[in-house]
């Protein structure tokens, strides 16, 4: 038993371990706690600490229906029936012998709105190690920013930053619960909890959870008076961490109130996860020293979600209202998530890469790039249904820029996203823009883009750099690609020479001859069929002569009919008109390849039989 830095009560220390057993009616020098469910015995440490890490090496009960708990207990309130807000335990790991792979982890923390009230969270997880016999190590690490639990070195749960854990000293408590009404004597003899190693390591007060890459910020205000959207609205802090502070306008919906509990914390978790992802993935501009998102949520105000103009004043402020009085109550697959995420991704595009603005908006005039960023966000959050719903809603929407019927999401963003790294290509394009596109620094010290993109070619050049492959063909299929576009692409490569991709050299080799052999891509229409350059050229060679032949043939037939009627009048009723057609189209102007494509009825309608016979003779090696 290690007892150097950490000591347990000597009266419960055995030679090799602490042993708490249900086999005795009275435990030596301990105080059993009588409950409605049975009796529990606890062993407390005589060493307490403000923040740190406790590790227990223990063997679970192997018989009976007992359970064990390892917990941190506030020195201000060591008993479970105390009247202070913490109610004894701050956090605990509850182990069930009859369900040995299940671990229930609880955290008690203060209500940020009503400090005298207690809030609680609990998660149930499966321990990663399938072997449940023998000794295992259970560890809890905590600071004022997080609580995390580990099983044999593997994290099984963590609660970060929103906890408002008190700055008070804690000691460790180990408890064994014995259910008298279900255990027989034999089971009680074998229901023993053995702990052979307890260690403690001090942790700095400002330690943060290592996996979140968060920094410590001051606690946000408990109330907020919002004045930017009409009358003053007072909102109340619901929960916060280093990334998000969430406020509601109706304090009655906050958990822990002496009222009906209706508000689930799903919205806090959803907004927090979304904001953390876009902040880290897209390197958002830090407007102030506190990059925390302030989310203000209202009930009965159907304004949707948008960011307000507090840039540089407060931080990022997300304002959301819903006419649905239960919009924030329970988690749904709802328009609520779609609205929240749309507002977040709109801002993401505006401040990605640490520079304010979207220079692509002059080309992608409807800002469809937000749609692919929102799609990427849904994928990162594993919101499969929302991702599908988004595509279904936006996939067939078009705008008339840069060409008529331009399907930006369907024909440009999705192919590039799918074929060139998905989230990575989105992140790289904003990084390249921030590093290479012209910017200025305004009086407040904020970097802004100094101009918009001049043409489609500049956009294709930057996205090609992000994809590390030329996207000229993708752009041609999506929007059409002209000689002017090609010329402007070469200029963009000269203007931004530090952006490289796979076939730069190929472009430079072909620029001398491109004006001689470039055939324009077809301009897309509302049809979903995408024509390649070869398909369009072939179609053009067929349709144009066919239209000419059809028009001339129709006129020729009309002319011949009139000529026959005129000759019939001159020759008299008993005379026959000459079996002769006058054609105004020289045979040399008719394309034999087109004639081959026509069926016999069409040939007869378009061409007089004599001319048709001559054409057949011209294509034959035998005499007619």
Do you find a cis peptide bond into 567, omega within 30 degrees of 0? no
Decide if pLDDT at 586 tops 50.
no
Note the Cα 325 to chain centre separation in Å. Answer: 27
Give the 3-state secondary structure of residue 193.
Answer: strand
Strands 146-151 and 135-142: antiparallel
Q: What residues does each domain of the chain span?
A: 10-202, 217-354, 379-531, 534-619
Give per-residue pLDDT as tens, 391-420: 989 988 999 999 999 999 999 999 999 999
Position 73 scores a pLDDT of: 76
Position 413 scores a pLDDT of: 95
Q: Which residue from 492, 489, 469 is spatially nearest to 479, judged by alpha carbons?
A: 489
Decide if pLDDT at 145 tops 60.
yes
Rounded to whole angstroms, the Cα distance separating 318 from 301 reads 14
Position 243 scores a pLDDT of: 81
Question: What is the 3 state secondary structure string of 45-98?
Answer: EEEEECCEEEEEEEECCCCCCCEEEEEEEECCCCCCCCCCCCCCEEEEEEEECC
User: What token pair was written down for 520?
Assistant: 């324009």
Position 211 scores a pLDDT of: 43
Decide if pLDDT at 48 tops 60.
yes
pLDDT band at 246 (very low <50, low <70, confident <90, very high): confident
Decide if pLDDT at 460 tops 70.
yes
Decide if pLDDT at 434 tops 70.
yes
Lowest mean pLDDT among 242-246, 311-315, 386-390: 311-315
Lowest mean pLDDT among 117-126, 503-512, 546-555: 503-512
Residues 97 and 191 sit within 8 Å (Cβ to Cβ):
yes
Position 212 scores a pLDDT of: 38
Rounded to whole angstroms, the Cα distance separating 173 from 92 reads 9
Position 68 scores a pLDDT of: 73
Position 51 scores a pLDDT of: 73
Task: Tell me the pTM.
Answer: 0.54
Position 43 scores a pLDDT of: 64
pLDDT band at 585 (very low <50, low <70, confident <90, very high): very low
Decide if pLDDT at 116 tops 90.
no
pLDDT band at 378 (very low <50, low <70, confident <90, very high): very high
Give 505's contacts (C-beta < 8 A, 6+ positions apart).
none
Position 57 scores a pLDDT of: 74
Decide if pLDDT at 522 tops 90.
no
What is the pLDDT averaged over residues 73-93?
60
**C-beta atoms surrounding 374 within 10 Å:** 25
What is the pLDDT averaged over residues 45-55?
70
Position 238 scores a pLDDT of: 75
Position 327 scores a pLDDT of: 72
Decide if pLDDT at 90 tops 80.
no
What is the pLDDT averaged over residues 239-254?
69
Position 514 scores a pLDDT of: 34
User: What token pair was written down for 242?
Assistant: 């280093």
Mean pLDDT, the chain, whole residue set? 68
Note the Cα 264 to chain centre separation in Å. Answer: 22
Residues 412 and 334 sit within 8 Å (Cβ to Cβ):
no
- Report which secondary-structure segment, H or E, holds 317: strand 316-322
Decide if pLDDT at 482 tops 50.
yes
Rounded to whole angstroms, the Cα distance separating 160 from 72 reads 16
Residues 136 and 57 sit within 8 Å (Cβ to Cβ):
yes
pLDDT-above-90 percentage for the chain: 23
Q: Which residue from 530, 425, 539 is spatially nearest to 478, judged by alpha carbons?
A: 530
- Report which secondary-structure segment, H or E, holds 120: strand 118-126
What is the pLDDT averaged over residues 146-153?
76
Position 239 scores a pLDDT of: 72
Residues 44 and 12 sit within 8 Å (Cβ to Cβ):
no
Strands 293-299 and 304-307: unpaired
Give per-residue pLDDT as tens, 165-194: 556 677 777 777 666 555 555 555 556 666
pLDDT band at 517 (very low <50, low <70, confident <90, very high): very low
Lowest mean pLDDT among 123-137, 307-321, 597-611: 597-611
> Across 171-185, 196-210, 364-378, 578-592, which has the greatest mean pLDDT?
364-378
Backbone dihedral region of 24: left (phi > 0), alpha (psi from -120 to 50 degrees) or beta? beta
Decide if pLDDT at 208 tops 70.
no
Q: Which residue from 319, 321, 409, 412 is spatially nearest to 372, judged by alpha carbons?
A: 409
Give 258's contacts (C-beta < 8 A, 6+ positions apart).
none
pLDDT-above-70 percentage for the chain: 46
User: What Rg do the C-alpha atoms of the chain give, in angstroms?
Assistant: 38
Position 593 scores a pLDDT of: 44
Position 450 scores a pLDDT of: 95
Query: DSSP letters along 20-34, please?
Result: EESS-SS-TT---EE
pLDDT band at 528 (very low <50, low <70, confident <90, very high): very low
More confident residue, 614 or 99: 99
Give per-residue pLDDT as tens, 562-584: 555 554 444 344 433 333 333 33
CATH fold of 217-354: Elastase; domain 1 (3.10.170)
- CATH class label, 10-202: mainly beta
Decide if pLDDT at 219 tops 50.
yes
Decide if pLDDT at 425 tops 70.
yes
Question: What is the 3 state secondary structure string of 232-301?
Answer: CEEEEEEEECCCEEEEECCHHHCCCCCCCCCCCCHHHHHHHHHHHHHHHHCCCCCCCCCCCEEEEEEECC
What is the pLDDT averaged over residues 145-173?
67
Give per-residue pLDDT as tens, 308-344: 654 444 468 888 887 776 677 666 657 888 999 999 9
What is the pLDDT averaged over residues 136-152?
75
């Amino acid at each position: 038993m290690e007892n150097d830095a950490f000591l347990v009560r000597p009266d419960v220390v055995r030679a090799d371990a602490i042993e708490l057993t249900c086999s005795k009616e009275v435990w030596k020098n301990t105080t059993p706690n009588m409950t409605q469910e049975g009796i529990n015995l606890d062993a407390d440490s005589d060493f307490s600490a403000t923040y740190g890490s406790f590790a227990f090496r223990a063997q679970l009960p192997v018989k009976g229906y007992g359970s064990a708990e390892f917990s941190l207990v506030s020195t201000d309130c060591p008993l479970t029936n105390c009247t202070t807000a913490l109610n004894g335990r701050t956090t605990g790991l509850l182990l069930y012998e009859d369900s040995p792979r299940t671990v229930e982890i609880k955290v008690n923390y203060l209500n940020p709105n009503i400090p005298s009230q207690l809030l609680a969270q609990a998660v149930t997880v499966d321990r990663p190690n399938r072997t449940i016999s023998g000794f295992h190590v259970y560890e809890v690490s905590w600071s004022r920013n997080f609580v995390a639990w580990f099983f044999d070195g593997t994290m099984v749960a963590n609660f970060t930053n929103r906890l408002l854990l008190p700055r008070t000293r804690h000691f460790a408590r180990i408890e064994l619960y014995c259910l008298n009404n279900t255990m027989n004597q034999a089971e009680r003899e074998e229901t023993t909890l053995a702990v052979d190693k307890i260690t403690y390591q001090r942790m700095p007060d400002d330690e943060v959870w290592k996996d979140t890459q968060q920094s410590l910020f001051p606690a946000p205000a408990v109330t907020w008076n919002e004045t930017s959207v009409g009358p003053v609205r007072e909102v109340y802090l619901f929960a916060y961490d280093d990334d998000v502070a969430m406020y509601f306008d109706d304090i009655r919906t906050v958990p822990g109130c002496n009222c009906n509990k209706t508000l689930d914390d799903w919205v806090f978790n959803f907004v927090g996860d979304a904001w953390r992802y876009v902040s880290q993935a897209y390197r958002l501009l830090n407007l102030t020293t506190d990059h925390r998102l302030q989310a203000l949520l209202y009930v009965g105000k159907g304004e949707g979600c948008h960011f307000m103009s507090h840039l540089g004043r407060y931080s990022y402020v997300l304002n959301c209202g819903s006419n649905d009085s239960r919009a924030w109550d329970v988690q749904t697959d709802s328009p609520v998530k779609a609205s929240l995420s749309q507002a977040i991704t709109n801002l993401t595009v505006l401040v990605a890469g640490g520079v304010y603005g979207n220079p692509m908006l002059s080309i992608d005039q409807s800002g469809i790039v937000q749609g692919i960023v929102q799609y990427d966000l849904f994928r990162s959050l594993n919101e499969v249904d929302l991702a599908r719903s988004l595509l279904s809603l936006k996939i067939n929407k078009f705008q008339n820029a840069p060409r008529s019927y331009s399907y930006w999401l369907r024909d440009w963003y999705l192919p590039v996203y799918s074929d060139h790294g998905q989230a990575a290509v989105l992140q790289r394009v904003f990084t390249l823009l921030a590093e290479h596109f012209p910017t200025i620094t305004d009086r407040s010290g904020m970097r802004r883009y100094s101009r918009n993109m001049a043409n489609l070619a500049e956009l294709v050049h930057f996205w090609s750099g992000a994809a590390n492959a030329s996207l000229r063909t993708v752009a041609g299929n999506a929007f059409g690609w002209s000689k002017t576009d090609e010329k402007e692409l070469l200029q963009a490569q000269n203007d931004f020479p530090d952006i490289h991709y796979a076939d730069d050299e190929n472009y430079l080799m072909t620029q001398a001859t491109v004006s001689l052999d470039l055939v324009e891509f077809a301009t897309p229409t509302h049809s979903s069929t995408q024509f390649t350059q070869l398909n369009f050229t072939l179609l053009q060679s067929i349709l144009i002569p066919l239209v000419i032949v059809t028009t001339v043939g129709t006129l020729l037939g009309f002319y011949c009919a009139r000529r026959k009627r005129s000759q019939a009048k001159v020759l008299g009723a008993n005379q026959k008109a000459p079996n002769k057609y006058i054609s105004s189209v020289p045979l040399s102007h008719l394309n034999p390849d087109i004639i081959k494509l026509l069926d016999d009825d069409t040939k007869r309608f378009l061409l007089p039989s004599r001319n048709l016979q001559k054409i057949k003779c011209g294509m034959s090696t035998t005499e007619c």
